[in-house]
Structure 1
Amino acid sequence: MTGNGTTARRVQDGPLAEISGLTVGPVSGGPPVLHDACLSVAPGQVLGVVGRSGSGKSSLAHSLLGHVRPGLEVRSGTVRVAQLDPFAPADAGRLRGRVVSFLGQDPASSLNPALQIGTQIAEAVRLRSAVRRVSEVRARVEELLLSVRLPADRAFRRRVPWQLSGGQAQRVGLALALAGTPRLLVLDEPTSGLDTVLADAVRGLLAEALCDGDRAALLVSHDPAWIASVADEVIRLEGGRTVTAGPAKRPVPVLPRARSRTAGPGARRPQDVTAAGGLHVRGLHAAHGRVAVLHDVSLTVPAGSCTAVVGPSGSGKTTLARCLAGLHLPARGSARWRETGAERGRGTAVQLVAQDARGALNPRESVRTALLRPLRGIGRRPADDALEEAVRLLGLVGLEEAVLTRRPGELSGGQRQRVALARTLAAQPRALVCDEITSALDPDTASGILDLLDSLRSTTGLTVVMVTHDLTAVARRAERVVVLDGGRVVEDGPVERVLVTPEHPRTRELLAHAGDPLLAVPE
């Protein structure tokens, strides 16, 4: 399918969903997160929504399901979907999952951690469709899993959410969204946790789902190329206001990926580090229960360097990241940090910034509490100094002091991710394992976060392991890249060699779906 209404997808007259004058703000008062927002989505239309992290995109999307984040309230305006009010309890029950379905930035948080994947999808099929017979429900579950490129065998259906990778959880969430026959799909960064190959596959799946002339979609994304290719109309939010709106075929300022201000591969890095220090992984095997995930993984990350870990969704990247941080006990082998003399007594060794920021932060704690705990406990700072440092850390990741009083549920996905990074930096780690930390951020904010990590490497000798699907970020920031496939290291080498002359078929496949990441590296 091509965008801008040039396919068989037919935009019908009259809105399927309409928002008029919607203002949403904190219950306690203060500036609104959405101010006088308006939009209209007709049957068969794809509306793209773009803007910086924290600009109100997710709040706008959530309103179509009659939902606002904790601590917020609707101050004025109306929302209608299929002529019903999603904020009215009686109408919400008729709309959710049947007329309108949602896939958010944190799909894992919407899955019941105690229920098997197959059971959750089966319940969604029974609740949201006319399918009732056990054999028909099972067949529909298998069809949905296969449609999102996941195994449909009994062993996979019996997995629980914590046994899934971030990309697998994303696709299970998509299967749940498609379990009924929704007329409106609300998609908030639906490919953020996927590798380049699967992202293309899911985009194709969504294109097929939208070929129905009666189905519409609201698509929130930081990927301007995808927005331009699939959307009929695009609106841009800035500070909760709609500042740009128009056809996707017309150039729209959608915050294109900012070019890094740092040097590319081969740049000069701190020279006061030694090869002896750093992360050393030898013969690492890891499993989830009886399911083996990592097989004989060995790699070395010298102190002060940046190594990228890439691979297909489900290849074991997140499990490796947790092993490096000491959060997952390996079955065999070791992952150890060897410190240099200059590091003794400074901070903690290895800290993880998790992909699921919502799950990593205590939903009952304010940002202030989350930051002060490591500052007071590990850094042993006096209360006043700790609070001052907390404000400084928020500023480093691009957040204002007002965020201190909020809880995770009151923040956007991008804001949560930056709070998680600030909390990790508060522990003064010598090595930082970053698991998809920019997937929920707009390109400018993501570039700023990566600039910050580069700066910390230069000034403090911080070691970075970057788990990512963004091969352009790999080309810009890393010196070395490790490729995982099926839980094994299939390629390991300097970035310039691996991205230019890849040796393994899986590496070549990932690069084929990513364009040419080296074109984005400054001269």
Structure 2
Amino acid sequence: MTGSESLAEVSGLTIGPTAGGPPVLLDASLSVARGQVVGVVGRSGSGKSSLAFSLLGHVRPGLERRHGSVRVAGLDPFARADARRLRGRVVSFLGQDPASSLNPALRIGNQIAEAVRLRSPAAPPGNVDERVEALLQSVRLPADRAFQRRLPHQLSGGQAQRVALAITLAGSPNLLVLDEPTSSLDTVLAARMRRLLVDVLHDGDRSAVLVSHDPVWLASVADDVIRLENGRIMAPGHPLMSPLAAIVPTQPTGAGAAGPSTDGRLSVKGLAAVHGRERVLHDVSLTVAGGGCTAVMGSSGSGKTTLARCLVGLHRPTRGSVAWWEEAPGPGGSAPVQLVAQDARGALNPRESVRTALMRPLTGIRRQPAGKAAAEAGRLLGLVGLAPEVLGRRPGELSGGQRQRVNLARALAAGPRVLVCDEITSALDPETGSGILDLLNSLRRTLGLTVVLVTHDVVAAARCAEQVVVLDGGQVVESGPADRVLVRPEHAVTRELLACADHLPPGLAACATGTAVGRTVESTRGEGERA
């Protein structure tokens, strides 16, 4: 139940680049009562994260607080002494990337115990182990010693996110700041995580600021929802973004739609791969026609990313082959297969300008002279829909959608025939993600590119791909034309992906019922025991 006492207040907050320029957050005000859940929704680059971070007294590098005040439990999180009293105890943060918050060298039980000792200093030493067990149980993970001794790399994506949530809860905070906590998870894990978060938010008198690009989910869990647009909080009653309008599937418009081509064709036969002693791919085969698009789908841990890394030469398979055809190589050399990674921020050097990022493959791989490469960098930027002034900016000065477009332009700078796109829209809001998918289809049509789209987004697959391959446990469990696999799925894994997907158009939603939903509900029982 929402209380009347205010726990957090943001008043007239403006945040902008330290070097000057338009603010990313303008005169923003926010009030959070005790026991209240406030949702914050908006497109990529609208200022959502900047508003959320302000409750912890944090401003991203390259930005500064120009004016305005923030109070949490009567204290100023931007004051060093107050921040020490607030962080982890009164206010705690959970983001979308658990890997960045967990120490890869420490066992997870030790990391949770360390958080308990730091954030609950009054707890007797003998009670720390009990508290660690209770926290793991509260996020529906095993509490036994064997699980506590695991290292972060031994966890699935969903398990890592739950461990990060346990650490967030270690100090019993009054206010949770959750910044896109499910956007990096596949549809099945995201559905489970959302159910867990609802239970956590309804536990006691806890308040929360929940940042998401999904207005439908926010409306179902939040007491109040505000929308940010270009750094401004829109007036009450302003319509929220409608993801349904943004992601209605369209007929693929790539060159592959006009008929198969040999140039750019990709063939994978009998591929097997391991991580350490664990086999993660088993006899995977697929073929993508020149100019075509094949979507590779599956839940977390199914082997999708390992397959993508094998295709571009970043992971050595133990068996099988990857081959592509290039009938007319470009002058000066090229890299025929290029990866477009999910984490565009991590893929770009934060200290380099966009111009430098684009020039490197143009001069290094394509061996173009500096003058020609500079002109080509500007052309590529225009090809992905960005203005010339972006060339002088660094990744931290760009929105998520802009960074992903730069990531695409850099891949194109190497002159590829095949693009392997690994979850390129998963961290973006629906409208921005829709624009990236439109751009990908446009590039296929204008450049004749062949695309492997690794995704857990059913609608992205329907929008772009002619063929769909579904992985589970490192094996292909279903494959075929997209209009058959996504409308009349034969395998339970495919049906579960459809059942857990959000905002399905009517044609796809019709099959996400019955057995699939039943299997999803059953699969949540004991889910913590699975790796």
- Describe the SS at the equivalent of 1:245: coil
Q: Does residue 22 of the first structure (1) align with residue 13 of the second (2)?
A: yes
Residues of 2 paired with 1:389 and 1:82: CA distance? 53
Q: Could you tell me which residue of structure 1 aligns to residue 276 of structure 2? A: 289
Displacement of 1:187 in angstroms is 1.3
Q: Could you tell me which residue of structure 1 aligns to residue 394 of structure 2? A: 407
The one-letter code of the counterpart of 1:192 is: S
- Larger deviation: 252-261 or 345-354? 252-261
Q: Could you tell me which residue of structure 2 aligns to residue 338 of structure 1? A: 324
Per-residue Cα deviation, 1:456-511 (whole angstroms, up to 9, x for no partner): 11122211111112111111211111111122221111112212222221211221
Residues of 2 paired with 1:204 and 1:415: CA distance? 31
User: In the alignment, which of 354, 362, 366 is matched to residue 379 of structure 1?
Assistant: 366
The one-letter code of the counterpart of 1:197 is: V
Conserved 8 A contact 1:280-1:299: yes
Residues of 1 paired with 2:3 and 2:295: CA distance? 46
The one-letter code of the counterpart of 2:325 is: E
Q: Could you tell me which residue of structure 2 aligns to residue 324 of structure 1? A: 311
The one-letter code of the counterpart of 1:178 is: L
Q: Could you tell me which residue of structure 2 aligns to residue 3 of structure 1? A: none
The one-letter code of the counterpart of 1:14 is: E
- Describe the SS at the equivalent of 1:473: helix
Q: Could you tell me which residue of structure 1 aligns to residue 296 of structure 2? A: 309
Q: Does residue 86 of the first structure (1) align with residue 77 of the second (2)?
A: yes
Conserved 8 A contact 1:170-1:193: no
Conserved 8 A contact 1:69-1:410: no
Conserved 8 A contact 1:98-1:180: yes
Alignment of 1:6-85 (within 5 A): 10-85=1-76
Q: Give the number of aligned pairs.
A: 507
Residues of 1 paired with 2:181 and 2:113: CA distance? 21
Change (3 A) 1:187 1:260: closer
User: In the alignment, which of 218, 235, 260 is matched to residue 227 of structure 1?
Assistant: 218
Q: Could you tell me which residue of structure 2 aligns to residue 476 of structure 1? A: 463
Q: Could you tell me which residue of structure 1 aligns to residue 86 of structure 2? A: 95
- Larger deviation: 183-192 or 143-152? 143-152
Q: Does residue 457 of the first structure (1) align with residue 444 of the second (2)?
A: yes
Conserved 8 A contact 2:355-2:392: yes
Q: Could you tell me which residue of structure 2 aligns to residue 173 of structure 1? A: 164
Displacement of 1:384 in angstroms is 3.8
Q: Could you tell me which residue of structure 2 aligns to residue 369 of structure 1? A: 356
Residues of 1 paired with 2:185 and 2:114: CA distance? 25
Q: Could you tell me which residue of structure 2 aligns to residue 238 of structure 1? A: 229
User: In the alignment, which of 173, 189, 192 is matched to residue 182 of structure 1?
Assistant: 173
Per-residue Cα deviation, 1:426-459 (whole angstroms, up to 9, x for no partner): 2222111111111222222211111111111112
Q: Does residue 435 of the first structure (1) align with residue 422 of the second (2)?
A: yes
Conserved 8 A contact 1:109-1:358: no
Conserved 8 A contact 1:233-1:245: no
Alignment of 1:175-214 (within 5 A): 175-214=166-205
- Describe the SS at the equivalent of 1:87: coil
User: In the alignment, which of 456, 473, 477 is matched to residue 486 of structure 1?
Assistant: 473
Change (3 A) 1:13 1:173: same
Conserved 8 A contact 2:254-2:291: no
Per-residue Cα deviation, 1:181-239 (whole angstroms, up to 9, x for no partner): 12111111111122222212111111111113421111111112101111221211121
Residues of 2 paired with 1:166 and 1:357: CA distance? 18
Question: What is the root-mean-square deviation of aligned Cα atoms in Å?
Answer: 2.9
TM-score of the two chains, using structure 1 as the length reference? 0.88
Change (3 A) 1:51 1:391: farther
Conserved 8 A contact 1:417-1:440: no
Residues of 2 paired with 1:322 and 1:295: CA distance? 15
Conserved 8 A contact 1:234-1:245: no
Residues of 1 paired with 2:162 and 2:385: CA distance? 30
- Describe the SS at the equivalent of 1:341: coil
Per-residue Cα deviation, 1:269-303 (whole angstroms, up to 9, x for no partner): 35464368522222222222223322222222222
Conserved 8 A contact 1:273-1:303: yes
Q: Could you tell me which residue of structure 2 aligns to residue 256 of structure 1? A: 243
Q: Could you tell me which residue of structure 2 aligns to residue 7 of structure 1? A: none
Q: Could you tell me which residue of structure 1 aligns to residue 256 of structure 2? A: 269
Residues of 1 paired with 2:268 and 2:507: CA distance? 31
Q: Does residue 496 of the first structure (1) align with residue 487 of the second (2)?
A: no
The one-letter code of the counterpart of 1:121 is: I
TM-score of the two chains, using structure 2 as the length reference? 0.86
Q: Could you tell me which residue of structure 1 aligns to residue 265 of structure 2? A: 278
Conserved 8 A contact 2:255-2:292: no
Conserved 8 A contact 1:365-1:407: yes
Conserved 8 A contact 1:309-1:482: yes
Change (3 A) 1:383 1:128: same
Conserved 8 A contact 1:475-1:518: no
Residues of 1 paired with 2:343 and 2:283: CA distance? 26
- Larger deviation: 358-367 or 148-157? 148-157
Q: Could you tell me which residue of structure 1 aligns to residue 512 of structure 2? A: none
Residues of 1 paired with 2:133 and 2:302: CA distance? 22
Q: Could you tell me which residue of structure 1 aligns to residue 494 of structure 2? A: 507
Q: Could you tell me which residue of structure 2 aligns to residue 4 of structure 1? A: none
The one-letter code of the counterpart of 2:458 is: L
Change (3 A) 1:174 1:358: farther
Q: Which runs of 5+ in 1 are unaligned?
A: 1-9
Conserved 8 A contact 1:270-1:461: no
- Describe the SS at the equivalent of 2:376: helix
Residues of 2 paired with 1:53 and 1:519: CA distance? 26
Displacement of 1:59 in angstroms is 0.9
